[in-house]
Amino acid sequence: MKKIIIAIDGYSATGKSTLAKGLAKKLNYIYVDSGAMYRAVALYALRNKLVSDNHQIKVHELINSLNKIDIRFVFNPQKYTSETYLNNENVEREIRTPLVSDIVSKISSIKEVRKFLVQKQREYGKEKGIVMDGRDIGTNVFPDAELKLFVITDMDVRVKRRLDELHSKGIYVTDDEVKHNLEERDYLDIHRKENPLVQAKDAIVIDTTDLDRDQQLEYVLKLINDLKLLKE
């Protein structure tokens, strides 16, 4: 059976990571959370005091530190998902905290950081058979991906999904805090100079507002079958 690259882009908390994980499991593909890679760099910056008290990034120092950052994904058979490791430490929970969320869009706007991580992301796709989600996967990382999806969702649903995700990890914040963070990230992602979040011209839009995770997965699997993307 033919292997393809599936690129999933969209705003935060639209369900794109859940969809990507489900597709990877169903197709026996590799799943890569590109956003986790930017979060890992953000966590490194926070730990190494490369972020000021008012969330300004010490860009020059961070760029000079990139060669000290190793990010990889390790499969957890109990959870049947890949977890993010920063310099050999499992940081999957820590990179999801509000503190990291508050600065990750600023980190991802740095040209040298994007170049550093995009190179790593493209390495994952050399053999195809990969599902990757993020904000510039179909437009920049894999512009020739066989299937490109752009996921959208109503803001109220996004807030609830992010709250549920954080609560499941023992992190408690208010609805207003989550909404403010999502709106701020949307603005920064759309308006950043380097590879902003835009819908690829050949991407298929999926509105997940009224679809649960099983319905989303079923819809995309049918799409793959209807388009005959896995046929030799």
pLDDT in tens, 186-204: 999 999 998 999 999 999 9
3 in the Ramachandran plot: left (φ > 0), alpha (ψ -120 to 50) or beta?
Answer: beta
What's the CA gap between 1 and 116, in Å, rounded? 32
Q: What values do phi and psi take at 167, rounded to 5? A: -65, -35
Comparing 35-39, 76-80, 149-153, which segment has the lowest mean pLDDT?
A: 76-80
Find the mean pLDDT for residues 200-215. 96
Comparing 72-81, 99-108, 168-177, which segment has the lowest mean pLDDT?
A: 72-81
Find the mean pLDDT for residues 69-80. 87
The pLDDT score that the predictor gives to residue 58 is: 97
Q: Quote the DSSP letter at residue 195.
A: S
Confidence of residue 214 (pLDDT cuts 50, 70, 90): very high
Q: Which residues pair with 72 in a beta bridge?
A: 85
Q: What is the mean pLDDT of the chain?
A: 94
User: 125 Cβ partners below 8 Å, 6+ apart?
Assistant: 5, 132, 141, 142
The pLDDT score that the predictor gives to residue 138 is: 97
What's the CA gap between 169 and 95, in Å, rounded? 11
5 has a pLDDT exceeding 90: yes
- Could you count the other beta carbons within 10 Å of the beta carbon of residue 221? 14
184 has a pLDDT exceeding 90: yes
Find the mean pLDDT for residues 108-124. 95
Which among 231, 230, 232, 222 has a CA at the least distance from the CA of 28? 230
What's the CA gap between 45 and 50, in Å, rounded? 5
175 has a pLDDT exceeding 80: yes
Note if the pTM is more than 0.85. yes
Where do the H-state alpha helices sit in the chain? 16-27, 34-47, 59-65, 98-108, 111-124, 155-168, 175-191, 213-226
Query: Over the stretch 145-169, which tens digit does the pLDDT of each residue have?
Result: 999 999 999 999 999 999 998 888 8
- For domain 5-218, the CATH superfamily is P-loop containing nucleotide triphosphate hydrolases (3.40.50.300)
81 has a pLDDT exceeding 80: no
User: 60 Cβ partners below 8 Å, 6+ apart?
Assistant: none
79 has a pLDDT exceeding 80: no
Two tokens, residue 84? 């993010």
The pLDDT score that the predictor gives to residue 161 is: 93
Comparing 77-81, 133-137, 149-153, which segment has the lowest mean pLDDT?
A: 77-81
Domain ranges of the chain: 5-218
User: Would you say the C-alpha torsion 156, 157, 161, 164 has a positive or negative sign?
Assistant: positive
